[in-house]
Protein backbone atom coordinates (compact mmCIF):
# COMPACT_ATOMS: atom_id res chain seq x y z
CA UNK A 1 0.00 0.00 0.00
CA UNK A 2 1.82 3.10 -1.25
CA UNK A 3 0.61 6.28 0.45
CA UNK A 4 1.68 9.90 0.22
CA UNK A 5 0.76 12.76 2.58
CA UNK A 6 0.62 16.36 1.37
CA UNK A 7 -0.38 19.71 2.72
CA UNK A 8 -3.13 20.92 0.36
CA UNK A 9 -5.46 23.88 -0.28
CA UNK A 10 -8.90 23.80 1.34
CA UNK A 11 -10.65 23.15 -1.98
CA UNK A 12 -8.98 19.72 -2.24
CA UNK A 13 -10.73 18.64 0.99
CA UNK A 14 -14.26 19.62 -0.07
CA UNK A 15 -15.30 16.52 -2.07
CA UNK A 16 -14.49 14.15 0.82
CA UNK A 17 -15.97 16.50 3.41
CA UNK A 18 -19.21 16.51 1.43
CA UNK A 19 -19.29 12.78 0.73
CA UNK A 20 -18.24 11.43 4.12
CA UNK A 21 -19.10 14.12 6.67
CA UNK A 22 -21.95 16.16 5.21
CA UNK A 23 -23.92 13.81 2.95
CA UNK A 24 -27.62 14.57 3.53
CA UNK A 25 -26.68 16.82 6.47
CA UNK A 26 -27.69 20.50 6.24
CA UNK A 27 -24.42 21.87 7.63
CA UNK A 28 -21.71 23.73 5.71
CA UNK A 29 -18.71 21.81 4.38
CA UNK A 30 -16.65 24.99 4.06
CA UNK A 31 -15.31 26.61 7.22
CA UNK A 32 -14.70 30.32 7.80
CA UNK A 33 -11.11 29.46 8.78
CA UNK A 34 -10.34 27.38 5.66
CA UNK A 35 -8.33 30.07 3.88
CA UNK A 36 -6.71 31.66 6.93
CA UNK A 37 -2.88 31.57 6.84
CA UNK A 38 -2.70 29.66 10.13
CA UNK A 39 -5.00 26.84 8.94
CA UNK A 40 -3.45 23.66 7.55
CA UNK A 41 -5.09 20.98 5.40
CA UNK A 42 -3.55 17.54 5.03
CA UNK A 43 -4.45 14.88 2.47
CA UNK A 44 -3.40 11.28 2.07
CA UNK A 45 -3.18 9.70 -1.36
CA UNK A 46 -3.26 6.00 -2.15
CA UNK A 47 -1.35 5.68 -5.40
CA UNK A 48 -2.64 8.92 -7.02
CA UNK A 49 -6.14 8.97 -5.49
CA UNK A 50 -6.97 11.34 -2.61
CA UNK A 51 -8.49 9.04 0.02
CA UNK A 52 -8.30 11.00 3.29
CA UNK A 53 -8.24 14.51 4.70
CA UNK A 54 -7.93 16.43 7.96
CA UNK A 55 -7.86 20.16 8.73
CA UNK A 56 -6.04 21.92 11.59
CA UNK A 57 -7.38 25.29 12.74
CA UNK A 58 -5.76 27.62 15.26
CA UNK A 59 -8.33 27.69 18.06
CA UNK A 60 -8.09 27.88 21.85
CA UNK A 61 -9.63 25.29 24.18
CA UNK A 62 -10.27 25.54 27.92
CA UNK A 63 -8.31 22.29 28.58
CA UNK A 64 -5.08 24.09 27.69
CA UNK A 65 -4.67 26.98 30.11
CA UNK A 66 -1.26 28.32 29.07
CA UNK A 67 0.47 30.49 26.52
CA UNK A 68 1.21 27.81 23.92
CA UNK A 69 -0.52 27.71 20.53
CA UNK A 70 -3.55 25.42 20.46
CA UNK A 71 -5.15 23.89 17.35
CA UNK A 72 -8.42 22.11 16.64
CA UNK A 73 -8.53 19.19 14.21
CA UNK A 74 -11.67 19.20 12.08
CA UNK A 75 -13.17 17.37 9.15
CA UNK A 76 -11.14 14.19 9.28
CA UNK A 77 -12.54 11.91 6.61
CA UNK A 78 -11.43 8.72 4.90
CA UNK A 79 -13.09 7.48 1.71
CA UNK A 80 -15.56 4.62 2.24
CA UNK A 81 -13.32 2.20 0.29
CA UNK A 82 -10.34 2.91 2.56
CA UNK A 83 -12.01 2.97 5.97
CA UNK A 84 -10.72 0.35 8.39
CA UNK A 85 -7.45 -0.17 6.50
CA UNK A 86 -5.09 1.97 8.62
CA UNK A 87 -5.18 4.97 6.26
CA UNK A 88 -6.69 7.23 8.93
CA UNK A 89 -3.97 6.31 11.43
CA UNK A 90 -1.23 7.07 8.88
CA UNK A 91 -2.84 10.40 8.01
CA UNK A 92 -3.45 11.50 11.60
CA UNK A 93 0.00 10.53 12.86
CA UNK A 94 1.63 12.32 9.91
CA UNK A 95 -0.52 15.44 10.42
CA UNK A 96 0.37 15.52 14.13
CA UNK A 97 4.08 15.18 13.24
CA UNK A 98 3.82 18.10 10.80
CA UNK A 99 1.98 20.25 13.34
CA UNK A 100 4.66 19.50 15.93
CA UNK A 101 7.34 20.59 13.42
CA UNK A 102 5.40 23.87 13.09
CA UNK A 103 5.64 24.35 16.87
CA UNK A 104 2.09 23.22 17.64
CA UNK A 105 1.83 20.66 20.44
CA UNK A 106 -1.66 21.22 21.86
CA UNK A 107 -4.44 19.68 19.78
CA UNK A 108 -8.12 19.11 20.43
CA UNK A 109 -11.05 17.80 18.41
CA UNK A 110 -14.71 16.89 18.56
CA UNK A 111 -14.87 13.15 17.89
CA UNK A 112 -17.99 11.46 16.60
CA UNK A 113 -18.96 8.82 19.13
CA UNK A 114 -18.01 5.91 16.84
CA UNK A 115 -14.49 7.39 16.38
CA UNK A 116 -13.56 7.85 20.06
CA UNK A 117 -11.62 4.57 20.28
CA UNK A 118 -9.69 5.42 17.10
CA UNK A 119 -8.46 8.68 18.64
CA UNK A 120 -7.70 7.01 21.99
CA UNK A 121 -5.36 4.57 20.20
CA UNK A 122 -3.41 7.56 18.82
CA UNK A 123 -3.08 9.02 22.34
CA UNK A 124 -5.98 11.47 22.63
CA UNK A 125 -7.68 11.77 26.03
CA UNK A 126 -11.39 12.36 26.57
CA UNK A 127 -12.47 15.74 27.98
CA UNK A 128 -15.92 16.52 29.34
CA UNK A 129 -19.19 14.78 28.63
CA UNK A 130 -20.74 13.39 25.45
CA UNK A 131 -22.86 16.02 23.68
CA UNK A 132 -25.15 16.11 20.68
CA UNK A 133 -24.26 17.97 17.49
CA UNK A 134 -27.46 18.78 15.63
CA UNK A 135 -27.92 16.67 12.47
CA UNK A 136 -24.73 14.69 13.17
CA UNK A 137 -25.08 12.91 16.53
CA UNK A 138 -23.12 12.38 19.71
CA UNK A 139 -19.59 13.74 20.04
CA UNK A 140 -16.88 13.84 22.68
CA UNK A 141 -14.14 16.45 22.95
CA UNK A 142 -10.69 14.90 22.98
CA UNK A 143 -7.25 16.42 23.55
CA UNK A 144 -3.60 15.52 23.07
CA UNK A 145 -0.36 17.18 24.17
CA UNK A 146 2.40 16.24 21.72
Return the domain boundaries, the chain: 3-145
CB 128 within 8 A of CB 140: yes
Confidence of residue 25 (pLDDT cuts 50, 70, 90): confident
CA proximity to 110, closest of 131, 90, 91: 131
Q: What architecture is domain 3-145?
A: 3-Layer(aba) Sandwich (3.40)
Stronger pLDDT, 66 or 5, i.e. the higher one: 5
Q: Provide the terminal-to-terminal Cα distance of the chain, rounded to the nearest Å.
A: 27
* Predicted TM-score of the model (pTM): 0.93
Confidence of residue 42 (pLDDT cuts 50, 70, 90): very high
pLDDT at 50 over 90: yes
Query: Range with the lowest mean pLDDT among 7-11, 12-16, 95-99, 133-137?
Result: 133-137
CB 41 within 8 A of CB 8: yes
Amino acid sequence: MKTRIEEVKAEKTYPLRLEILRKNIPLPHKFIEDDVKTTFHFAIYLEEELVGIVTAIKKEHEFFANEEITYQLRAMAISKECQGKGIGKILLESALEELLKKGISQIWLKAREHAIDFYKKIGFKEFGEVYDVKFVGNHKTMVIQL
